[in-house]
Structure 1
Amino acid sequence: MSGPPRAVATLRSAVRSGLRSSDRPVLAACSGGADSVGLAAALAFEAQAAGVRVGGVTVDHGLQPGSADRAGRTAALLRDLGLDPVRVVSAEVGGAGGPEAAARTARYAVMSEVARGLGARVALGHTLDDQAETVLLGLGRGSGPRSLAGMVAEREDDGVLWWRPLLGVRRETTRRACADQGLPVWDDPWNTDPAYTRVRLRTAVLPLLEEVLGGGVAPALARTAGLLREDLDALDGLAAAELARLAGEAGDGSLPVRPLEPLPAALRRRVLRGWLRAAGIGDLQAVHLHAVETLVTHWRGQGRVDLPGGAGVVRTSGTLVVLPPVHRGGDPGTAPPEEQPA
């Protein structure tokens, strides 16, 4: 007795262990494209054996003509595959960060709402090729090592678990799997529009790299991301332990300076970032972190370092202290800066 076609078997194998790792329901995010349709079909097939309920969600961004009708057809396909429940949700797309980023933000917001209502984790159809593109984008933008580490297979954000079981699967495999099963797919015209940076990476940069380097570039980039992620996770773990120790010694929310000085820069910055985030400081950029670090490594008696949201940090009595947002006309919470060393 022959089994399923190779591409179909590959997708089913990719979702099997993750699906069975928890009895928590799964919500397959589906745009109608080959990656997400192939993922939904694999989840639908494996759901019964895994004893896990699998539903689906498709988002109507309202940005292209006929989007509502297309979302309805995608939902019908998901129901035909056996997914239940299936939701069609509309997203209100803003303008911040450009059309791609704005659509992504709106999409994740509405999917999060549906997932919380169902107590489900969300399965996303990102592939190895998406991972390679993400790494190249991070490299070209100088976004730092965490960006080069790419997407993670599982990430929990604000109570929602995002699951990417296809990060080891090529895009061509998802398309082949859909064709082998006779599943209709929709090719989003945005995915071939050279106005978008990711499309130019996909259609021009990566093929050129493949030609120049003799092939295997996308898997190599994905493999590099995985190796880098292991190193970053190890550093983050060391930093968390160091922060817990230092914060425990202080006991008042401040951070002692002297133990920070001899730490390697990569570890020290992680400690500082963790400390600031624990204090409720969000949207930290590299420039903010480096400014706070100078209070440790290049201390010359400088004053308050301003942070996003109006908060600040000062060095006083050998410790770093987070100050509340400044209220112009007087800030009674400001601590006096430490005297400049002789």
Structure 2
Amino acid sequence: MGPHPAVADVRRAVREAMADVPEGGLVLAACSGGADSLALAAALAFVAPRARLRGGLLTVDHQLQPGSAGRAEQVAGLAETLGLQPAEVLTVEVGREGGPEAAARDARYGALSKAADRLGAAAVLLGHTRDDQAETVLLGLARGSGPRSLSGMAAVTGRYRRPFLEIPRATTVAACRALGLVPWDDPHNADPRYTRVRVRTRVLPVLEAELGPGVAEALARTARLARDDADALDAWADRAYQDCALSDIAGSVTLAVEGLRDLPDAVRRRVLRRAAIAAGTPSGALSETHVRAVDRLITHWRGQKAVDLPGGLVAVRRYGTLIVAISPIP
């Protein structure tokens, strides 16, 4: 008799996510103790030795709740039971920049990356599910974001892998139950002060009730389609940037206007965004409004003045070129 279907599903997803990891490589599961990451850790513990890989576990203590250190130690202790080594607790200080959710995410990923570097890990597995992907797409829609944001989370981002993006949260819960694992329910996951929690507990249930079942699956499918389109446009923009860039140094980028003028809007604006970031504009501060203002220097040129950009930079058109540089431009 084989494993429970949910257990088989999570193991298969982890095995496929690690298919290109060289034999003997170290793969780490980022585990909070919740159902998703717990099922992930258990699947890694089963799959890694059979794939001739080493499996380990990292858990992050954000120090945001009483008893968080003890819970982190329990998760690390579970790794020994599962047969995952090394197992480490990463304690972080969460700042305030960008709000509590973004600050915690930045602190978490920073700690995971440093630990993975130190341990020489080939991959770090994250437990995001199809439901998480659906929430991400809805948040992007609510912000009026473009196709890159609507494409949600990537299955692979550098060393990070997300094996469960095609698996619903119910499957990870069922897998834990079948394996006798007791997940920890983070109170923050039910706190309506967080936008993502409201999407999970209020918005998606209303959509399912009004539109019928399958909304989360449809949103995740939308993310896949949007990612394919965004990847193609980004690749086109990369080639166009190389063709148009006359100079590209820190603090100053110069582009040939002639090469930009006839590009499709979506490609040209990607080139302009890349130029601004390459010159030194903080990517998180660069809005669509900024990019469109720079775009008008190409498409609706009337001799207008320079466009101010975040980070103390400006974009100005001169003698058939677009210069993005630290202000003031000589």
Mapped partners of 1:146, 1:80: distance in 2: 40
| Inter-partner Cα distance in structure 1 for 2:280 and 2:202 | 42
Q: Is structure 2 residue 317 aligned with structure 1 residue 315?
A: yes
In structure 2, how many angstroms separate the alpha carbons of the residues matched to 1:191 and 1:184?
Answer: 16
Question: Do 1:239 and 1:267's aligned partners in 2 also have CA atoms closer than 8 Å?
Answer: yes
Partner Cα distance (1:100, 1:317) in 2: 45
Q: CA deviation at 1:50?
A: 1.3
Instruction: Assess if the C-alpha contact under 8 Å between 1:134 and 1:150 holds in 2.
Output: yes
Does structure 1 conserve the Cα–Cα contact (< 8 Å) formed by 2:243 and 2:259? no
Instruction: Describe the SS at the equivalent of 2:157.
Output: strand
Are 1:166 and 2:167 counterparts? Answer: no
Share of identical aligned residues, percent? 57
8 Å contact kept, 1:19–1:52: no
| Partner SS, residue 95 of structure 1 | coil
State the partner residue of 1:266. 266
2: CA distance, partners of 1:182 / 1:320? 62
Structure-1 residue corresponding to 2:119? 118
Instruction: Report if the CA contact (8 A) 2:247-2:255 is conserved.
Output: no
Does 39-48 or 300-309 show the bigger shift?
Answer: 300-309
1:230-249 to structure 2, matched below 5 A, reads: 230-247=228-245
- Worse-matched range after superposition: 46-55 or 304-313: 304-313
TM-score normalised according to structure 2 size: 0.93
Per-residue CA deviations over 1:22-74 (Å, capped at 9, x if unaligned) read: 12421110000000000010011000121111111111111111111000001
Q: Distance in 2 between matches of 1:28 and 1:251?
A: 42
What's the RMSD between the two structures over aligned residues?
1.4
Aligned partner of 1:3: which letter? G
* C-alpha separation in 2, matches of 1:48 and 1:194: 41
1:280: how far off?
Answer: 3.5
Task: Tell me the CA shift for residue 213 of structure 1.
Answer: 1.2
Give 1:277 shift: 2.8
- In the TM superposition, residue 233 of structure 1 has moved relative to its aligned partner by 0.7
* Counterpart Cα distance in 1 of 2:154 and 2:276: 24
Find the counterpart in structure 2 of residue 74 from structure 1: 75
What CA distance in whole angstroms lies between the structure 2 residues aligned with 1:110 and 1:36? 17
* Matched position secondary structure for 2:315: strand
Aligned length: 321
> 2: CA distance between counterparts of 1:49 and 1:18?
14
2:157 pairs, out of 150, 155, 158, with 155
Q: CA deviation at 1:138?
A: 0.7
CA-CA distance at 1:222 after TM superposition: 0.2
**Secondary structure of 1:55's match?**
strand
Match among 175, 178, 190 for residue 176 of structure 2 = 178
CA distance in 2, matches of 1:271, 1:139: 23
Shift in Å, 1:274: 2.2
Q: Distance in 2 between matches of 1:100 and 1:106?
A: 10
Question: Equivalents in 1 of 2:247, 2:288: separation in Å?
Answer: 27
Whether the 8 Å CA contact 2:27–2:54 is kept in 1: the answer is yes
Mean CA deviation greater in 299-308 or 231-240: 299-308
Give 1:19 deviation, angstroms.
1.3
Deviations 1:103-162 (A, max 9, x none): 111111111110111122211000000000010111111122211111000112xxxx21
Of 70-79 and 237-246, deviating more is 237-246
Task: Report if aligned partners of 1:20, 1:52 keep a CA contact under 8 Å in 2.
Answer: no
User: Which stretch shifts more, 139-148 or 223-232?
Assistant: 139-148
Q: 1:187-216, CA deviations, whole angstroms, 9 ceiling, x for partnerless residues?
A: 001111222221121112111111111210
Q: Which runs of 5+ in 1 are unaligned?
A: 336-342
Aligned residue type for 2:322 = L
1:183-194 paired onto structure 2 within 5 Å: 183-194=181-192
| 1:235-314 mapped onto 2 (5 Å cutoff) | 235-247=233-245, 250=246, 253-283=253-283, 284-314=286-316
Q: Distance in 1 between matches of 2:218 and 2:325?
A: 45
Which residue identity does 2:126 align to in structure 1? L
Report if the CA contact (8 A) 2:279-2:325 is conserved: no
Do residues 214 (structure 1) and 212 (structure 2) align? Answer: yes
The amino acid across from 2:175 in the alignment is A
State the match for 2:42 in structure 1.
Answer: 41
Quick check: 129-138 or 294-303, which moved more? Answer: 294-303
Structure 1: distance between partners of 2:97 and 2:255: 35
What's the offset of the Cα at 1:251?
Answer: 5.3
Q: Which residue identity is paired with 1:103?
A: A
Alpha-carbon separation, structure 1, partners of 2:179 and 2:325:
60
Give the counterpart letter for 1:261 in structure 2: R
Shift in Å at residue 179 of structure 1? 0.7
Determine the C-alpha separation between the residues in 2 that align with 1:251 and 1:222: 40
Any stretches of 5+ residues in structure 2 without a counterpart? Answer: none
